[in-house]
C-alpha cells in the first residue's frame, strides 16, 4: 500500500512586475514562509520596480 504523498518544503513562485510590462522572475520560497515582494530591475521599462508574488502556473 502506498502512503499519502508528502508536499515539498518549497514552492515555485513567479514575481511579476508592478509596472505591468509583463516581465517576471521565477524563484522558490519556503511553503510556510511569507509572500515575497522585491524591488528588482525591469529591463523593459529600464528601471527598478516592485515585483510581487503570484502563483506559478503550469504549462
Dihedral sign for Cα atoms in the order 6, 12, 18, 20: negative
The model's pLDDT over 21-50, given as tens digits with 9 standing for 90+, comes to 999 999 999 988 889 999 999 999 999 999
Q: Which CATH number fits domain 10-54: 2.20.28.120, 2.40.100.20, 3.40.50.300, 3.20.20.140?
A: 2.20.28.120
Q: Can you give the residue ranges of every domain in the chain?
A: 10-54
Q: How does residue 7 score in pLDDT terms, banded at 50, 70 and 90? A: confident
Q: How does residue 57 score in pLDDT terms, banded at 50, 70 and 90? A: low
Beta carbons of 26 and 12 less than 8 angstroms apart: yes
- The contacts of residue 23 (CB under 8 Å, 6+ apart) are 16, 17, 42, 43, 44
Question: Does the pLDDT at position 3 exceed 70?
Answer: yes
Side-by-side strand order, sheet with 10-17: 24-30, 10-17, 47-55, 37-42
Q: Give the global pTM.
A: 0.77
Amino acid at each position: 500500500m502506498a502512503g499519502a504523498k508528502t508536499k515539498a518544503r518549497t514552492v515555485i513562485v513567479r514575481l511579476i512586475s508592478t509596472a505591468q510590462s509583463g516581465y517576471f522572475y521565477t524563484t522558490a520560497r519556503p511553503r510556510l514562509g511569507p509572500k515575497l515582494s522585491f524591488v528588482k530591475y525591469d529591463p523593459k521599462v529600464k528601471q527598478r520596480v516592485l515585483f510581487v508574488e503570484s502563483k506559478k502556473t503550469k504549462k
